[in-house]
Structure 1
């Protein structure tokens, strides 16, 4: 049955996307089933996206652009749509993260979102968001596109050793996630270090935090809190946390020693043997 629910295009990026999809499909004189056939999907999916009941993917958007000859309209819209799926309290941080020239982060419990695999992200997000899981995973993967830009940000990551041992999603998910981290060993703009248990007390005992630096804007400090996040450009906070981060990096293992530890944990805890393929 054709879904004809009317949308208010100004209600949200998702509503605007759906209304534009319907408008351009009808201009092309295609039914939902006909467009679905061209896109290799069902008429129901087209209808759900047109009525903002389902969030489109980037792949769907690219196919629509090709099918309706839109000049890339939906490929440009999809970033805004997916960003709108992030929690409201996190959207301001994600916007600033996308503009940053340098990102420095200490993570005490989880792999930083920009370096998560889809499976790891799905396991993390499923805890509190089972009803919106696929939308949130897609939004997290969309955030990672900043690392693929021609001029990506410099990303420095310090992971507490506990992150390697906290089994998120099962052994296979962890093997793949740790293998993903190892893939950044020789990356020119990404540095991954592990803060080992042996360091004991350190300058970030209060928990995870991020520092963002920009070419033309003040630096920002961000720390997650339960159900939200705290972000500030207070110069004194930036000064104190920048020193804390420098001390963390000095206490952490080198890139090479961090990679060796990650590989050892893969092998000993999650069953990966050197020289064998990671699924």
Structure 2
């Protein structure tokens, strides 16, 4: 067992979180087991988080804040902790994504991260069998919080039709993921289109990419491949990729027809009926 007194709070957000949890717990005169009883978890979990052996969740942090009366300290810290669990080459993009006012993305292989269910994300991220899968999943789900903000970014997603048919995580996972996509029809700021197989060759055959727009800052182009990320604000690249994205939008099915296709694939391939109104078109 690591002695928590040997932890360097400045080593990482996780170490700082653990040291603060121990300091404020002891200041409240509580043992690990007593705090655990207050927030419905084990003393062992408290100890693992205090020794930076386990990453806290947002729910855990909110309960600790309530139990210790820490005025949201841990709820604020956990965002930094979860972000630090993202791959180092992805962290810069995640920061930009959180500040964007408009996100446009084309995805050729899988559902965009901001729209993934927990089980789908676990299957995607677990394909390489990383040691920190739980932490990676938690970090991905935490990114999705930007869609629940009072002023969320406008999000436009184009999915290659293959994404609907690629069975990620098994049939049940895909059923829930496609049903989740259909629910976004009720979200004003999120639009989803499918690029059908019948499109043939198109301007994004080289792979997935994202375009971010900001209030007062230059637009950003982002693409990645095997632990390597490329992002640029070069005006010529932005101009070319923006035109390419407009062509993809023109070639893709309408938002309404996309919902019909998702509902059909959901029923025919994964044996499920959409919820009332999910696949209906006026």
Q: CA deviation at 1:274?
A: 4.7
Give me the whole-angstrom Cα distance separating, in 2, the residues matched to 1:5 and 1:176: 45
Give me the whole-angstrom Cα distance separating, in 1, the residues matched to 2:268 and 2:2: 54
Residue matched to 1:16: 16
Give me the whole-angstrom Cα distance separating, in 2, the residues matched to 1:140 and 1:275: 26
Residue matched to 1:232: 232
Say which is worse superposed, 2-11 or 18-27, in terms of deviation: 2-11
Residue matched to 1:184: 184
Change (3 A) 1:45 1:211: same
Give the alignment's Cα RMSD to 1 decimal.
1.5
Q: CA deviation at 1:159?
A: 0.2
Where does the alignment leave 5 or more consecutive residues of structure 1 unmatched? none
Paired residues in the alignment total 277
Contact 1:3 1:48 in 2 (8 A): no
Give me the whole-angstrom Cα distance separating, in 2, the residues matched to 1:254 and 1:216: 30
Contact 2:4 2:19 in 1 (8 A): no
Q: CA deviation at 1:102?
A: 0.3
The reply on whether 1:170 has 2:185 as its aligned counterpart is no
Change (3 A) 1:74 1:243: same
TM-score of the superposed pair, with normalisation by structure 2:
0.95
Where does the alignment leave 5 or more consecutive residues of structure 2 unmatched? none
Residue matched to 1:135: 135
Residue matched to 2:67: 67
Q: CA deviation at 1:273?
A: 2.7
Residue matched to 1:89: 89
Contact 2:179 2:274 in 1 (8 A): no
Residue matched to 2:200: 200
Contact 2:194 2:258 in 1 (8 A): yes
Q: CA deviation at 1:5?
A: 4.8
